[in-house]
């Protein structure tokens, strides 16, 4: 079993996987990792299961150290960490001017999307930010797009105005809002789908492949694709799957090193 950690700005996604894929997942607040409370969450979640290895990626630099410490205490050896300089070339090559500036969740998404549907492919992650990551026909990561997340847009309207409320992101029943909340839902959800369409059209046009498949993930993926035929499929654990593929490629059949203290200690 491989333990996986995808540390995001708001949430940390935990997963455990075997050679067939990601089997179980759980989310915790990233503040729990930053506060040194990850071991407690791992003990509660894993129970008697003891992973052989662990892999992590993080877009929060300050969380990497606490996560590595917690995982070393659990395993008795260091986890593998996905970074541009640890990325195996057989999984993905980076054709990007400054790869050290890339969020490693984006690299994981590109790895998984390429494995799922081949190349070219576009991975979209509906997270705190919405990211589009592009793998060209030769299987190379060449860049992408970063847009504000849909919940961030809705929260911004509430936080920066005196009269607009915080709204639930439910589908509007009309294209013309008949209340303030409904008007905001039309503007946010319908408008956001327009953003997705426009960005995808531009990416596909530049690639020269109008039929480039798209794989979506993230908290709002299923809701957004209901009226977005431009997106071909949803994979709920795309980032963790990419991290799993990285771990398997990096570790191979390497046995665990050092003592195995177990999660119950």
Domain of residue 40, CATH code: 3.30.420.40
Q: What residues are paired with 57 via a beta bridge?
A: 6
Q: Mark whether 47 and 116 lie in a shared domain.
A: no
pLDDT 10s digit of each residue in the chain, 265 long? Answer: 899 999 999 899 999 999 899 999 999 999 999 999 999 999 999 988 889 999 999 999 999 999 999 999 999 999 999 999 999 999 999 999 999 999 999 999 999 999 999 999 999 999 889 999 999 999 999 999 999 999 998 898 889 998 899 998 999 989 999 999 999 999 999 999 999 999 999 999 999 998 999 999 998 999 999 999 999 999 999 999 999 999 999 987 554 444 444 443 3
The catalytic residue among 6, 29, 85, 105 is 105
Instruction: Quickly list DSSP for 146-215.
Output: EEE-HHHHHHHHHHT-SSPPP---PPPSSSS-SSHHHHHHIIIIIHHHHHHHHHHHHHHHHHT-TT--EE
- What span, in angstroms and rounded, lies between the C-alpha atoms of 223 and 171? 8
Do 19 and 105 fall within a single domain? no
One domain for residues 120 and 227: yes
258 lies in a domain? no
Question: What is residue 264's predicted lDDT score, i.e. its pLDDT?
Answer: 37
- 105 belongs to the catalytic site: yes
Instruction: Check: pTM over 0.85? Answer yes or no.
Output: yes
* Residue-range definition of the domain harbouring residue 106: 85-239
Q: Kindly tell me the sign of the dihedral angle through the C-alpha atoms of 60, 68, 98, 129.
A: negative
Strand ranges of the sheet holding 214-218, from the earlier edge strand across to the other edge: 93-94, 140-148, 129-135, 121-126, 214-218, 233-234
Domain count of the fold of the chain = 2
């Amino acid at each position: 079993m491989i333990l996986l950690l995808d540390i995001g700005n708001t949430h940390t996604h935990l997963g455990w996987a075997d050679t067939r894929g990601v089997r179980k997942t759980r989310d915790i607040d990233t503040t729990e990792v930053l506060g040194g409370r990850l071991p407690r969450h791992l003990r509660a979640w894993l129970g008697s299961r003891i992973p052989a290895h662990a892999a992590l990626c993080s877009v929060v630099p300050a969380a990497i150290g606490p996560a590595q410490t917690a995982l070393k205490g659990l395993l008795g050896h260091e986890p593998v960490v996905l970074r541009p300089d640890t990325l195996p070339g057989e999984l993905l090559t980076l054709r990007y001017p400054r790869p050290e500036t890339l969020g490693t969740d984006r690299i994981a998404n590109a790895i998984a999307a390429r494995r799922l549907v081949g190349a070219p492919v576009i991975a979209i992650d509906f997270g705190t930010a919405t990211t589009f990551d592009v793998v060209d026909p030769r299987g190379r990561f060449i860049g992408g797009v970063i847009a504000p997340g849909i919940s961030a847009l809705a929260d911004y309207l509430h936080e920066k105005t005196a009269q607009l409320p915080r709204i639930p992101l439910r589908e509007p029943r009309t294209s013309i809002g008949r209340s303030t909340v409904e008007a905001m839902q039309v503007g946010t959800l319908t408008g956001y789908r327009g953003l997705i369409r426009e960005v995808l059209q531009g990416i596909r046009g530049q690639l020269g492949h109008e039929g480039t498949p798209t794989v979506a993930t993230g908290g709002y993926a299923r809701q957004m694709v209901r009226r977005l035929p431009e997106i071909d499929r949803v994979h709920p654990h795309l980032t963790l799957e990419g991290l799993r593929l990285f771990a398997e490629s990096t570790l191979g059949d390497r046995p665990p090193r050092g003592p195995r203290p177990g999660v119950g200690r």
